[in-house]
Structure 1
Amino acid sequence: MKKWLVAFVVFIGLNLMGYSNSGMLGDKPPKASIKIGNKMYKTTLGSYCWDIRGRGACVDTAGPKELLEGEKPIKIKPGEKITFVMNYKPNPNEFHVIQMTENKEIEVEVENNRFTAPTQQGIYYYSYSVWWMDKKEVNVSHGDASYAFVLEVN
């Protein structure tokens, strides 16, 4: 639980340090999906801060486990590759992925928008947090979002 809390504090802190009018499109962050094999699966939008018509707005939601209550997990094989897909420009330039089980949270290594599923059977909840950080001004965020999904490794 501590890593999720740290990620949340960083998420809020980056937004409090600087939020500017960036011309981000839409009333909320874009949809994000995950691709496993040849199939696409939706994720659930969680907490976010976004520029809505020139005004910054933040929405706070429950954590991934609570947000996904009642959702059926996506069934996958041990060690399968999961790819994040977001059809939006500009792409977020900072991201973190937290994997949660009943009693443990770990940050997952992601390379080229891709990570590997656990090899042990079980149900795993994920928080995929992304930021659109300014490329010139340090600690200025143009928007951020967290997305949740749940996998069942068989």
Structure 2
Amino acid sequence: MKKLLISLALLLITACEVKPPQLTAKVNKEPIKVYQGSYCWNENGRGECADTALPEEMVKGNVPTVVSKASELKVHFDYEPKKGSVGANIWTNGEAKDQKIVNSDTIILPRKPGIYVYSVHANWEEGDSSYALQVEVK
């Protein structure tokens, strides 16, 4: 009986979580690790905001996924954002520069070899969220 009560309590806590949609990213069907960034999300009468470090700090110390020059980085949300709200930045030394997104889901990666950190952000009726990822172009 005690195990059943604990299981039910965990289920209720999990069901009440207020989290933004998940983002997946791939290059040539190879998954790229995505880090949850800052967000504010309101759902079912509950709201939550979380602030994170800058994308370069979030990925620091983690091994980037190696990709080919000029590859296409495809991004996908598990819940469709507002039309026209998806954006991206490329980060260098704490500075963000706008990064063009093609068809709301594709970032063309650089031709120059190096490690690149990106942030992707979007808006929904329930709130907004940002995400970070890094790749190494070889």
Q: Give me the TM-score of the superposition, normalised by structure 1.
A: 0.71
Name the aligned partner's letter for residue 91 of structure 1. P
Which one is further off, 144-153 or 67-76? 67-76
Correspondence for 2:120 among 97, 122, 128: 128
User: How many angstroms apart in 2 are the aligned matches of 1:53 and 1:146?
Assistant: 21
- Structure 1 residue 28: Cα displacement: 0.4
Matched, 1:115 2:99: no
Q: Equivalent residue for 1:149?
A: 133
User: How many angstroms apart in 2 are the aligned matches of 1:130 and 1:46?
Assistant: 11
Q: In structure 2, list runs of 5 or more residues that go unmatched.
A: 1-15
Name the aligned partner's letter for residue 55 of structure 1. R
Runs of 4+, deviation exceeding 2 Å: 90-93, 101-105
What's the Cα RMSD here?
Answer: 1.9
Task: Please state whether the residue corresponding to 1:62 is helix, strand or coil.
Answer: coil
Deviations 1:115-150 (A, max 9, x none): 1001111111111011115xxxxxxxx211000001
- Matched length: 121
Q: Give me the TM-score of the superposition, normalised by structure 2.
A: 0.78
Could you say which structure has the higher strand fraction? 2
Q: Given the superposition, is the C-alpha separation of residues 67 and 104 from structure 1 closer, same or farther in structure 2, using an over 3 Å criterion?
A: closer
Q: In structure 1, list runs of 5 or more residues that go unmatched.
A: 1-24, 134-141
Flag the structure with larger Rg.
2
Q: Percent identity?
A: 31
- Structure 1 residue 52: Cα displacement: 4.2
